[in-house]
A and B are shown apart, each in its own frame.
Chain A
Amino acid sequence: MLKLKDLQAFYGNIQALKGISLEIQEGEIISLIGANGAGKSTTLMTISGIVPAREGEILFKDKPINKLPPDKIAALGISQVPEGRRIFPYLTVMENLDMGAFLRNDKSGVKQDLEYVLELFPILAERRNQAGGTLSGGEQQMLAISRAIMTRPKLLLLDEPSLGLAPIITKQIFEIIKKFNKESNTTIFLVEQNANLALQVADRGYVMENGVITISDTGENLLVNEDVKKAYLGI
């Protein structure tokens, strides 16, 4: 479904991605783990067209997308929950969800998805008329995921959904990510520093270091891989 071929990207003069290649099949959950500054978020921002790809290619359903502007990439069905959640702080919860459905014209489908996410996260229904910026971190993460679901994505990019959240909420959010993947067969590309959790939910995983991918294997195998254990699992 998504294929990165020798992808290179820069921030100014600093090379953040030094030739990334990876592949994601439809319906999979793929985790990309690595330390701070390894280039994980840049990978997602490059897929979404925010950071330009200087070299290499991004294929979505066998078509190159790396020359498209971000809004056209979103229109293809690639939705991102970026790092730090980026809730629109002065829009209400409902308006934030509306923005997720910005490109959609199927009113009944939008209504259906709205009911679905409010069932997934009942707290959002309670907070529906509150400004997004006034929600707690966990609620904002729920809203960010819901907003992305409202786009009815084919590929969902999740950047650090566990960042800054209490362990119990993190666990709850990961369960919902898995549930959503199963129920809707939506492909999920998950970027995480919390390697343990990320590899548990993943079908396959990639390990990233300094802008290159160093290891790739199934989630299970990575969890018992000696190098991964030492570097990322703290065992």
Chain B
Amino acid sequence: MDFSYLGQLLLGGLTRGSIYALLALGYTMVYGIIELINFAHGDIYMVGAFTALIASTVLLNYGVPHLAAIILAGVAAVIYSSAYGYTVEKIAYKPLRNASRLAPLISAIGASLFLESYVLLLQTSDFLPFPALIPNFKFWAPYESLFSSTELVILITTIVVMILLTVLIKFTKIGKAMRATSQDRVMAALMGINVDRVISITFIVGSAIAAIGGVLIASHIGQINFYMGFIAGIKAFVAAVLGGIGSMPGAVLGSFVLGLSESLFTGYVSSDYQDVFAFTILVAILIFRPSGLLGRSENQKV
């Protein structure tokens, strides 16, 4: 057995898993709070990548150094995507808060199509090259061929984001309000929590994290197009369901399980069928463990 090949696949799986995790967190947070699958979430990630491309092109043109450019472009992407996430919620979901569950779901698909078409019309349908913004670190040079500096940054960023998010949810006042709102929206309102604001903040936080994922994947792969959020979004959704939708540790676990197993499947079986593989996993979970790895079964929710 070729262990270095296996190692490579596992490291590649970690990178995939990180990106899925950054996206899956947004799905699971929104689902946890308003029980909606936000199909536009993948497109928010795409908007983040486009914002970063535009911002970094401008910045590099003005001679800003690479590292500063990626940080500023990342910040621009986070702000822009958050604003989109906030607006999509206000326009497409909030008016349907008391409608049947199917209505906001259809609205979400509409929002997704809208964002894709909007970028298609305003930008292009072609793949655009994305500059490799993350430099190859000198200290990392011996390992560069195994696990690139960009991949290292992706993994570390993901870990940092997860830690910050955990602190936010567990210990801050707004985090507690988010958990309370997700467990019982009426009771949260009776305690004086402005539920609409909590929902808005959830969309903003989820979108910001997705934007970070979008920028990182774009600078890893080196090209973007208006459709990039679709498959990534669906895969992250599979990861969130695999982990147990509504559960944040579940989303992270599901993402890494999906990333690693997808990577192994690609390496040992076939790369042509990797998307089929992900959806096979989805079908299998829905049949055998619909509440996911760490999900709570519905009847526990009193």
Residues of chain A whose beta carbon lies under 8 Å from any beta carbon of chain B? 48-50, 69-71, 74-75, 79-80, 82, 86, 88-91, 95, 98-100, 102-103, 133, 147, 151
A91–B186 touching, CB < 8 Å: no
B302–A133 touching, CB < 8 Å: yes
B179–A71 touching, CB < 8 Å: no
A50–B190 touching, CB < 8 Å: yes
Q: Report how many A-B pairs have Cβ atoms within 8 Å.
A: 66
Judge whether B301 is part of the interface by a CB distance below 8 angstroms: yes
- Further contacts, 12 of them, CB under 8 A, given A48-B190, A50-B189, A88-B183: A71-B193, A71-B195, A82-B190, A89-B302, A91-B179, A91-B183, A99-B188, A102-B192, A103-B191, A133-B300, A133-B302, A151-B192
Query: Which of B173, B183, B193 counts the most A-chain CB atoms under 10 A from its CB?
Result: B183
B190–A70 touching, CB < 8 Å: yes
Query: What per-residue 1/0 map shows which CB atoms of B153-197 lie under 8 Å from chain A?
Result: 000000000000000000001001101100110111111111100
* CA distance in complex: A88, B181 (Å): 9
B190–A74 touching, CB < 8 Å: yes
For A98, list chain B residues within 8 Å (CB): 176
A90–B179 touching, CB < 8 Å: yes
With both chains docked as a complex, state the minimum distance between the C-beta of B261 and any C-beta of chain A, in angstroms: 29
A102–B190 touching, CB < 8 Å: no
CB-based nearest A residue for B296: A90
* CA distance in complex: A95, B178 (Å): 12
For A133, list chain B residues within 8 Å (CB): 300, 302
A71–B176 touching, CB < 8 Å: no
Known: A71-B194, A102-B193. A82 touches B176 (CB 8 A): no
For A69, list chain B residues within 8 Å (CB): 189, 194
For A75, list chain B residues within 8 Å (CB): 192
Residues of chain B whose beta carbon lies under 8 Å from any beta carbon of chain A? 173, 176-177, 179-180, 183-184, 186-195, 300-302
Across the interface, B192 reaches (CB within 8 A) one of A50, A95, A103, namely A103
A99–B195 touching, CB < 8 Å: no
Q: Can you pick out 27 interface pairs between chain A and chain B where the beta carbons lie within 8 Å of each other?
A: A50-B189, A69-B189, A70-B189, A70-B190, A71-B192, A71-B193, A71-B195, A74-B190, A74-B191, A75-B192, A79-B190, A82-B190, A86-B186, A86-B187, A86-B190, A88-B179, A90-B179, A91-B176, A91-B179, A91-B180, A99-B180, A99-B188, A99-B191, A102-B176, A102-B191, A102-B193, A147-B191
Give chain B's interface secondary structure class.
helix
* CA distance in complex: A49, B195 (Å): 13
B184–A86 touching, CB < 8 Å: yes
For A100, list chain B residues within 8 Å (CB): 191
* CA distance in complex: A48, B183 (Å): 19
B189–A71 touching, CB < 8 Å: yes
For B302, list chain A residues within 8 Å (CB): 89, 133
With both chains docked as a complex, state the minimum distance between the C-beta of B274 and any C-beta of chain A, in angstroms: 36
CB-based nearest B residue for A79: B190
With both chains docked as a complex, state the minimum distance between the C-beta of A91 and any C-beta of chain B, in angstroms: 6
With both chains docked as a complex, state the minimum distance between the C-beta of B302 and any C-beta of chain A, in angstroms: 6
CB-based nearest A residue for B194: A71
For A99, list chain B residues within 8 Å (CB): 176-177, 180, 188, 191, 193
With both chains docked as a complex, state the minimum distance between the C-beta of A146 and any C-beta of chain B, in angstroms: 13
* CA distance in complex: A102, B177 (Å): 8
CB-based nearest A residue for B181: A88
* CA distance in complex: A99, B192 (Å): 9
Known: A89-B302, A95-B176. A74 touches B183 (CB 8 A): no
* CA distance in complex: A75, B170 (Å): 24
For B188, list chain A residues within 8 Å (CB): 99
* CA distance in complex: A79, B176 (Å): 19
* CA distance in complex: A174, B201 (Å): 40
A102–B194 touching, CB < 8 Å: no
B301–A89 touching, CB < 8 Å: yes
B301–A82 touching, CB < 8 Å: no
For B177, list chain A residues within 8 Å (CB): 99, 102
B190–A80 touching, CB < 8 Å: yes
* CA distance in complex: A80, B184 (Å): 14
With both chains docked as a complex, state the minimum distance between the C-beta of A82 and any C-beta of chain B, in angstroms: 7
* CA distance in complex: A119, B300 (Å): 31
With both chains docked as a complex, state the minimum distance between the C-beta of A113 and any C-beta of chain B, in angstroms: 14
* CA distance in complex: A48, B176 (Å): 22
B179–A102 touching, CB < 8 Å: no
For A89, list chain B residues within 8 Å (CB): 183, 300-302
* CA distance in complex: A82, B184 (Å): 12
* CA distance in complex: A151, B179 (Å): 19
CB-based nearest B residue for A150: B191
* CA distance in complex: A79, B193 (Å): 12
With both chains docked as a complex, state the minimum distance between the C-beta of B200 and any C-beta of chain A, in angstroms: 14
